[in-house]
Structure 1
Amino acid sequence: MSPNAQTPNAKPNKVLALYHKTQGWPFGQKIFSIMVSRMAPYFGTIKPLITELRLNHCACLIKKRHAVHNHIKTVHVIAICNGLEMAMGVMAEASIPAHLRWIPKGMSLDYTAKAGSDILCVAEVTPEQWTPGDMLVPVTAYDTQGVVVVKGHIKLWISEKPQK
């Protein structure tokens, strides 16, 4: 394993610890998702629900509703992009080793099927990927039947935090 990678037994950072804490509350997933959306308000436009968060993995649900429809009444791909970016960002914040920082550099996606149902956006990496330089985070959006509707990656720039 890379010396920069976290082990599953590592103490969770603040984001992961907050997620675990809220899971014991009624509506814990919803409360956590609202808290994240307040930190980055644009995410609130899709009313996301973080359904799963663990080290190097995050899943975010977007409900199919009028506000995220396109002209053919499927979930608009930009709403899906927003969900994928949220899943990636929450995964990155919950997983990045303490001595590193990240910033997004780009997104490359393929639209593979109509998004006619609720959409589950997933971002997942391996611990070995957490090294300085470009990092491609695989992201995938699934409909309720498990059909991939959007697939691609978000490119991050990973760097060392400055010494204090």
Structure 2
Amino acid sequence: MVNVHELWRTTSAIPFVGPRLFSLAFAQAAPYFATIRPRFTVVEPNHVELVIPKRRRVHNHLKTVHAIALCNGLEAAMGALAEVSLPPGRRWIPKGMEVTYTAKAVSDVTCIAETDPAQWTGSDPDLPVRVRGVLADGTVVIEGTIRLWVTATRAGERASAERGE
């Protein structure tokens, strides 16, 4: 599997096109993400941001960014966050999303996913990721939580057993 954080560091260092290259590569991992043309701007453990450009392809009948496009952006941000925050020997899968639409998305939307470092080291496999979508003027257009199920991989389980945990 590709190390997402290393891919970000490598591609984002390329002047002018680096973040776009990362965004294209990330969208190929889950092709549905390509439908929103995400532009990642921040990829760090516990904090990821991407922009969904407002364009006709993601409009609803009101000519604003469609609610499902917003959810797609939040899930892409959460997925990148999980990949760069996950400790070795662990795996994740999304198990649910709860969102509230708080305003019309009348322009590009920055999708933000955040966690606290301590969330990744606890024994509870249920891990909530805070997500929100924000316009350039600070208006929050969508906010909520994406719940992950985080467990040990088989290799991680063997290592824990060998350590007597």
Give the structure-1-normalised TM-score: 0.90
SS at match of 1:30: helix
Higher relative contact order (CA 8 A, sep 6+): 1
Take 1:144 and 1:133, find their aligned partners in 2: how far apart are those partners? Answer: 35
Count of residue correspondences? 152
Counting only pairs closer than 5 Å after superposition, residues 7-22 of structure 1 correspond to structure 2 as 14-22=3-11
Residue 80 of structure 1 aligns to a residue whose secondary structure is helix
1:37-64, Cα deviation, whole Å (9 max, x unpaired): 0010000000101111111110010000
The question of 1:154 aligning with 2:143 is answered no
CA distance in 2, matches of 1:82, 1:14: 22
| Offset from partner CA, 1:96-117 (integer Å, 9 cap, x none) | 0011110000000000001001
Shift of 1:133: 1.1
C-alpha separation in 2, matches of 1:29 and 1:135: 28
**Structure 2 unaligned blocks of 5 or more:** 159-165
CA distance in structure 1 between the partners assigned to 2:94 and 2:63 by the alignment? 30
Whole-angstrom CA distance in 2 between matches of 1:53 and 1:145: 22
Mapped pair 1:42 → 2:32: yes
Aligned residue identity for 2:5: L
**Over residues 1-37 of structure 1, what are the superposed CA-to-partner deviations in whole Å (9 max), with x where a residue is unaligned?**
xxxxxxxxxxxx8211110111121300000000000
Which amino acid counterpart does residue 136 of structure 2 have in structure 1?
T
Question: What's the TM-score once normalised by structure 2's chain length?
Answer: 0.89
Q: C-alpha separation between the residues in 2 aligned to 1:121 and 1:24?
A: 22
1:135 is aligned to 2:124: no
Cα distance in structure 1, aligned partners of 2:146 and 2:59? 23
Percent identity over paired residues: 47
Kindly name which structure, 1 or 2, has the bigger radius of gyration based on alpha carbons. 2
CA distance in 2, matches of 1:102, 1:24: 28
Indicate the residue corresponding to 1:86 in structure 2. 76
Structure 2: distance between partners of 1:76 and 1:85? 14
* 1:71-150 superposed matches below 5 A: 71-130=61-120, 131=122, 132-150=124-142
Unaligned ranges ≥5, structure 1: 1-12
